[in-house]
Chain A
Amino acid sequence: MDKKRKKGTFRALAISLLSVAMLLPGGCGKPKDDKVKVYVITKNDQVSFWDDVKRGAEDACNEFDIDLTYKAATGDNDYATQIEAINKAIDEKADYIIIAPNGNEEFDDAFKRAEAAGIQILNINSRTSYKGVVSCISSSDTDGGAVAARYAAEALLNNSNTTEELELFKNDPKAAMKEAEGSIAIIGHTAATAENRIAGFKKESMSRIVSVLTERGMTFEQMGNGLETNDETNEKFFVQGAPCATVDAAKEEAKKILGKDGNNVKVFFTTNTNTTLGVADAINEAGLTNIYVVGFNSDADEVKYLRTGVIDGLVVQNPYNMGYVSVNYARKIEDGERVASKLDTGVTFVTADNMNDDYVKTLLPKTEE
């Protein structure tokens, strides 16, 4: 065999072997698909609630090898940033948009474009009315309001001087009802969730009041003109401030309601972090100690007020679970599984008494653990 021919034979043999070696491991595997792209868009970047949502989403993305892009708006009214983020998700060919919307119909056009681009939309925290939303992972707003009302009512029952009030109800129901008018103050935030939370709160409050009074031996007649069903009468118990987007606005609104001496307010209910902090600031500055303050969420400053007793209870959602489950839903849809159109991740009522419980601690900011 001459030298040239020998060289050619060896070259052919080497190439064949290399091909076989490359084909053996490579030939049997499925080509790797591109990662699923998920855009998580939250309401604002100022409170720790959304950091926990992000943490849950990141955990799910890491666990299921999903590509995450996170964007937070600058505040609860900032839907423009969110729409911009949706447009970016469309441009970057995202597969899923998970959004806690700072509005409702404002998103219709953006959602339509996203849907047309084949992107599936999930809501977290609150739901828009857009029909194409596949699922909403949130805690029930009405239930959250109801939980606040229930605990507030129980606290009042245990702590207030109810005997005198009950005597008044028995002897002069109309006077008693007049006395109770405006004893429950409410300040909501500017989003749709506030309305649902307030509705839940009011409904449960009335149920509680009726239950307590019934337990104390009062009849419906004594409570006055169909207390349970007459909305006009019911509304008299509540004094509701204007919706507020910021802490300062809520503080000013609370000052208006409370006046200098509290203005007969026994319960103050707020619907989000900013309103809760605003009201707490106002009560703290006024030095009012006999008002039961119940707010929403678990921002670090809210938890500080809880420790110092300015706030009595916080309805805490589970933002980590919202973030985690929403991404997990996207993964399920991608895998062809069915998901619920709505999942209630629930709320926990946190007080100074239970804030050190193991589970409750996980719902609070780490600095407060």
Chain B
Amino acid sequence: MANTKEKSINHSRPYIFAAILLAVVYILNAILVDTIYRKNNEVTKQTSSAMSSCNRINFGLQAVNGSVLRIIGEVGDPTENVIDVQRNFGSIRAAMADFEDIEGLSDTAKKRYAEVAKIVTYYNERLLQLQGLYNQKDEETQQVKGMDAFKFGPKALYTQDIYPLQATANEMITALISIVNKDTAETMKKNTILSYVLMSMMLLIAILGEIAIFIIAKMAKKSRLELEAREKSLAEVDAKLKSTRQKASDLAVMNVLTGMKNRYALDNDVTDRLESDRFNIAVFDMDNFRSINDTYGYDFGDEYLAAVAERLKEEFGSVAEIYNITGNEFCFLFNKEISESQAMGIIQNIQSVITAPYEVLNLAVQLPCSGAVYHYLPGDCLNVNSLLVKLDTAMRNAKMNGGNMINTVVNI
């Protein structure tokens, strides 16, 4: 279960990474776009302030010009016109101060503004000079001399000396406005290009990232399939190993020739029962079997034993566990439900089967056999070895008495 969970995490890792990468790219993108948006806002605000200041300076200059022309042309109240000039210059100075307070203007804009400021300041100085000239009063009459005293004075002074300053200042201000507009357009353009470059880079990073993740995921899938194939192969090897081990284990408790359990198996099956169980057990051995080996060879003898064993398994496999404990010696451990009397009957049958004629390699052979039976009571023997000694002793006695007979182990 834990293994499956780990596998699942491993498989989803590239997709989690892809999701994180996408999120990072989008967050970065959002931050960058926001930064550029803010910068553009600042530039717009700055431009708006600069434009406002420039326009105020321009309007102020035009208003001053109008007032001065009214003074020269003696239109309206001269005192009010003089006040207008002063008031408009106050507005111009305030607009200039506002412009100077704007941060982030380009050096070009600052340089051009310096030219504007120089001309406007000088224009103001010259107007004050004109005003002084205009305000000269006749010593005797204390009347303003104005046009009467200087027939062409103030008008010539203004139109020849002073007015061009205002006209040039206007041109410089329009140039300044154009510079601010150009700077703004350039900054906006730079920001736009920057945003496109950044967004392209983000897009590229995202695409490359996704491609990398796709490739990684594909490689991971391939690795996973390889791993699974290897696991499957290992499982097969493991199963084979287990089977081989089982076979090896079976061989340890089995007689290869007859396919019956051997002496070790008998040990395993009976040892635990010696102390507590009551059972019937018998052994049989074919009399003078050596003569078969000597006469026909061991291969023939083996074929003969295999035929006998096969027959015994067929006939008595259901009533007893049959062991081939030595060469031609068979042991029958009867099932629990088989009573002593039944066991005695079966034993007779076993002897009949063993001693029956067999056709081995197209030869009919027949040997007598001797046996021993033991109605075992709990605690009779300490181990299987002593049990078999008792049985073998009884069987040897039968053989010594001519063979072809069955002895019973007597409990002492």
Give A contacts to B, CB under 8 Å. 13, 17, 20-21, 24-25, 28-29, 59-60, 62-65, 139-140, 143-144, 146-147, 150, 204, 207-208, 210-211, 214-215, 318, 321, 324-325, 328, 331-332, 335, 343-349, 358-359, 362
Contact = CB atoms under 8 A, between A and B. Distances in A.
Given A63-B112, A324-B175, A345-B164, A146 B182 contact: no
A17 B200 CA distance: 10
Contacts of A60: 175
B203 A24 contact: yes
A211 B175 contact: no
Interface in B189-214: 189, 192-193, 196-197, 199-200, 203-204, 207-208, 211
A211 B164 CA distance: 25
Range, interface on chain B: 35 or more
The residue in B112, B160, B163, B178 that gathers the most chain A C-beta atoms within 10 A of its C-beta is: B160
Contacts of B111: 59
Contacts of B192: 28-29
Nearest to B164: A346
A63 B179 contact: yes
B160 A143 contact: yes
B204 A17 contact: yes
A359 B108 contact: no
B94 interface: no
Given A215-B149, A358-B118, A359-B118, A347 B164 contact: yes
A359 B179 CA distance: 23
B164 A17 contact: no
A219 to B, nearest CB: 15
Given A13-B211, A21-B204, A147 B160 contact: yes
Given A324-B175, A349-B161, A63 B118 contact: no
Interface stretch (B30-38, B150-158, B230-238, B315-323): B150-158
A69 to B, nearest CB: 21
Interface string B155-193: 011011111110110011011001100100000010011
B82 interface: no
B316 to A, nearest CB: 67
18 contacts: A17-B207, A21-B203, A21-B204, A25-B196, A25-B197, A25-B200, A28-B196, A29-B189, A29-B193, A63-B112, A63-B182, A64-B182, A140-B164, A208-B152, A324-B172, A335-B178, A348-B161, A362-B118
B296 interface: no
State the majority secondary structure of interface residues on A: helix
Contacts of A348: 161
Q: Which of A65, A150, A318 has the most CB of B within 10 A?
A: A150
B156 A150 contact: yes
B15 interface: no
A144 to B, nearest CB: 8
Given A64-B182, A321-B171, A359-B119, 13 more contacts: A21-B200, A21-B203, A63-B108, A65-B182, A143-B164, A146-B160, A150-B160, A204-B152, A325-B175, A328-B178, A346-B167, A358-B118, A359-B121
B86 to A, nearest CB: 20
B298 interface: no
Contacts of B157: 150
B335 to A, nearest CB: 67
A211 B149 CA distance: 8
A25 B193 contact: yes
B264 interface: no
A113 to B, nearest CB: 30
Contacts of A335: 178
Contacts of B151: 207, 210-211, 214
Contacts of A328: 171, 174-175, 178
Contacts of B17: none
The 5 closest A-B pairs by CB, nearest first: A346-B164, A359-B122, A25-B196, A143-B160, A24-B200
Contacts of B118: 358-359, 362
Nearest to B201: A21
A362 B165 CA distance: 14
A24 B204 CA distance: 11
A214 B152 CA distance: 13
A344 B167 contact: yes
A345 to B, nearest CB: 5
Contact of B168 (A140, A207, A321): A321
Contact of A63 (B125, B175, B199): B175
Nearest to A13: B211
Contacts of B179: 63-64
Nearest to A145: B160
B222 to A, nearest CB: 12
Greatest chain B CB density within 10 A among A25, A144, A346, A348 is at A346
Contacts of A321: 168, 171-172
